[in-house]
């Protein structure tokens, strides 16, 4: 469920340092309004708790299922054993000690909670607001998808609960905050830092796509850093399990693939387009297509004209170009070898994918 955020104003659309310092959080669009609450340590003001009004929108106990991840050295496929060895999670609502609100949104908030000396993020969604904003399907999709996935670089859903007033999702607490904050403070990342973060995203996308799940909301605001500096992909309100294509208009304008804008129907290829946008933004400090009006952004995306910084690493530029191919069937990651083509690109030549999956690599220091 993507948050309604302020689009940067015209005075901030120059891409030197002043733009990078002032860049606002971006607006995400769907066929109906929605909001995101990330399970990070990013602090927001307190908000009202769950409140009255109810309809039949219920959750049942959710336990993450075991899964395998197709990864490997040099882009080859390699089975990885489940992370939790069959361990399930069981909580009672009375077990949770709410400490403070750490995120707020249109129809809910996220609270830092403690139970048995462990910290968690409790996502509280007001049922009447979920219904009023027509977000029932997004909430159901998010829960259903998070229940069936488990991966070291994806947020983990531990438990769900409901009352007459609210829906609750208990998620792992990710203490490092959003990658967006680090990128905004740094201006841009070094090539090695961008490779590190992009590599972990590639593994997460490869895993999701192996389950026919398209994520559709990749951007720095939806990437959290854990205490060890590794990424966690969060906010699955726009994610969807696909059999073929979907036509829903959703996502953040700067990150939308051409086929979404043109309502041609889209599939998992949109995630690889978004990865190209993200890599550009990490290395340059701004997205390749920008305007103070969403329709201006769409025009620039469809035109495909990018102003390339002179000092951009040529290998990175080659990867970005191959990810930002308008024809999705020719887009890197969307051809016969899938994610393997991305992993085999020269920009990732120093990545040991198996070690990365096990987090046996040096983290980036900020």
- Summary mean pLDDT of the chain: 80
Q: pLDDT band for position 250 (50/70/90)?
A: low
Share of the chain above pLDDT 90, in %: 62
Q: Residue 154's pLDDT is what?
A: 99
Q: Residue 30's pLDDT is what?
A: 58
CA atoms in the 13 A half-sphere facing the CB of 117:
0
Mean pLDDT of 88-98: 80
Q: 9 φ, ψ to 5°? A: -85, 170
Measured between alpha carbons, how far is 161 from 334 in angstroms, rounded to an integer?
38
Catalytic residues: 217
Output the CA torsion 144→6→196→14 (10° steps): 160
Q: 240 φ, ψ to 5°? A: -150, 140
Q: Residue 260's pLDDT is what?
A: 87
201 to 151, 232, 263, 274: CA distances (angstroms): 11, 9, 26, 11
- Give all domains of the chain, ordered by start, each with its CATH number: 179-357 (1.10.510.10)
Q: Assess whether pLDDT exceeds 50 at residue 36.
A: no
Give the distance, in angstroms, between the CA of residue 346 and the centroid of all CA atoms in the same chain.
25
Q: Residue 66's pLDDT is what?
A: 31
Q: pLDDT band for position 92 (50/70/90)?
A: confident
Q: Of how many residues is the chain composed? A: 366
Written as six digits, the tokens of 164 are: 């007459």
The single residue listed with the structure tokens 């930002």 is: 324
**Residue 123 marked ligand-binding:** yes
Highest mean pLDDT among 23-32, 74-83, 265-274: 265-274
Q: What is the per-residue pLDDT across 305-346, written as a single tens digit (0 to 9) for each?
A: 999 999 999 999 999 999 999 999 999 999 999 999 999 999
**Among 24-28, 101-105, 248-252, 347-351, which is the least confidently predicted range?**
24-28
Q: Assess whether pLDDT exceeds 70 at residue 90.
A: yes
Q: Assess whether pLDDT exceeds 90 at residue 270.
A: yes
Written as six digits, the tokens of 29 are: 């669009």
């Amino acid at each position: 469920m993507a948050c309604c955020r302020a689009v940067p104003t015209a005075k901030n659309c120059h891409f030197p340092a002043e733009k990078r310092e002032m860049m606002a959080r971006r607006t995400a669009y769907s066929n109906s309004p929605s909001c995101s609450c990330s399970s990070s340590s990013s602090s927001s003001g307190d908000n009202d708790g769950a409140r009255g009004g109810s309809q039949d929108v219920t959750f049942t106990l959710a336990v993450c299922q075991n899964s395998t991840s197709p990864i490997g050295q040099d882009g080859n496929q390699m089975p990885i054993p489940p992370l939790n060895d069959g361990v399930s999670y069981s909580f009672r609502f009375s077990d949770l000690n709410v400490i403070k609100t750490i995120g707020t949104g249109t129809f809910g908030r996220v609270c830092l909670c403690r139970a048995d000396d462990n910290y968690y993020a409790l996502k509280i969604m007001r049922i009447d607001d979920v219904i009023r904003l027509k977000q029932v399907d997004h909430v159901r999709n998010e829960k259903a998808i998070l229940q069936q996935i488990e991966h070291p670089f994806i947020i983990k859903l531990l438990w769900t609960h409901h009352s007459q007033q609210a829906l609750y999702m208990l998620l792992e607490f990710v203490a490092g905050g959003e990658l967006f904050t680090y990128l905004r403070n740094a201006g841009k990342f070094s090539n090695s830092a961008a490779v590190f973060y992009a590599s972990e995203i590639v593994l997460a996308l490869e895993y999701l796509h192996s389950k026919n799940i398209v994520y559709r909301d990749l951007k720095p605001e939806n990437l959290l850093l854990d205490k060890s500096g590794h990424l966690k992909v969060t906010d699955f309100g726009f994610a969807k399990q696909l059999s073929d294509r979907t036509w829903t208009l959703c996502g953040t304008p700067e990150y939308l693939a051409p086929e979404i804008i043109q309502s041609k129907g889209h599939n998992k290829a949109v995630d690889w387009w978004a990865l190209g946008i993200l890599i550009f933004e990490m290395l340059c400090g701004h997205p390749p297509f920008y305007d103070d009006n969403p329709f201006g952004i769409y025009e620039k995306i469809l035109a495909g004209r990018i102003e390339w910084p002179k000092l951009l690493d040529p290998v990175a530029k080659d990867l970005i170009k191959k990810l930002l191919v308008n024809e999705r069937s020719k887009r890197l990651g969307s051809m016969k070898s899938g994610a393997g083509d991305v992993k085999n690109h020269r920009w990732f030549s120093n990545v040991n994918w198996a070690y990365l999956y096990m987090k046996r690599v040096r983290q980036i220091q900020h």
